[in-house]
Amino acid sequence: MLLIKTIAAFILIILSEMVNGTLRVRYLVKRYGKPKALVISFILGSVMVIVWSFVTVPLIAPESLGEAWIIGAVWASMMTAADIYIGRRFFKLSYPAIMRDFDPRSGNLLTFGIILLLCMPAIVWMTSGS
C-alpha cells in the first residue's frame, strides 16, 4: 500500500510541475528572460513540492524514517525518469541536451528540485513527530 500511495502522491506532484513548466515556457521566459524564468519556476516548483509533501506524506503514513527516505527516492527516481522521457519523446532532445537541464552550471536548477523531492518526505516525517 505504501508504494501505491507514494505513486498517487507523485502523480499530484508531476501534474503540478507540468503546469509550472507550461507557465515557465509560455509566460515567464517571454516576460523575464530564461535565467530569471528558471529561478522563478524553481521557486514555484519548490513551494509546490513542499506543500504536496506536507499534505501527502502524512496520508502515505511511513512508519519509519527509512520508509520516508524510500518515498523520496521513489519520487526523485520517477521525476528523473519522467524528465528524461518527456525530453526525448515530446521535445526530441538528445541525451546531452537533457543532461544540460540537470546541470546547475548552465543555469538549470532541476538537480536541486530532484534533491528536494528526495529529502522532503524525510523532512516531513522528522518534523511531524513520528
Domain ranges of the chain: 2-127
- The residue written with cell numbers 501534474 in the block is 15
Average pLDDT value for residue range 18-27:
94
Check residue 32 and give its pLDDT.
97
Average pLDDT value for residue range 13-39:
95
Q: What is the pTM of this model?
A: 0.93
Provide the grid cell at 17. Answer: 510541475
Check residue 106 and give its pLDDT.
87
Check residue 130 and give its pLDDT.
60
Provide the grid cell at 61. Answer: 503514513
Per residue in 90-122, pLDDT (tens digit) is 989 999 999 998 999 988 999 999 999 999 999
Per residue in 48-95, pLDDT (tens digit) is 999 999 999 999 999 999 999 999 999 999 999 999 999 999 989 999
Average pLDDT value for residue range 28-53:
96
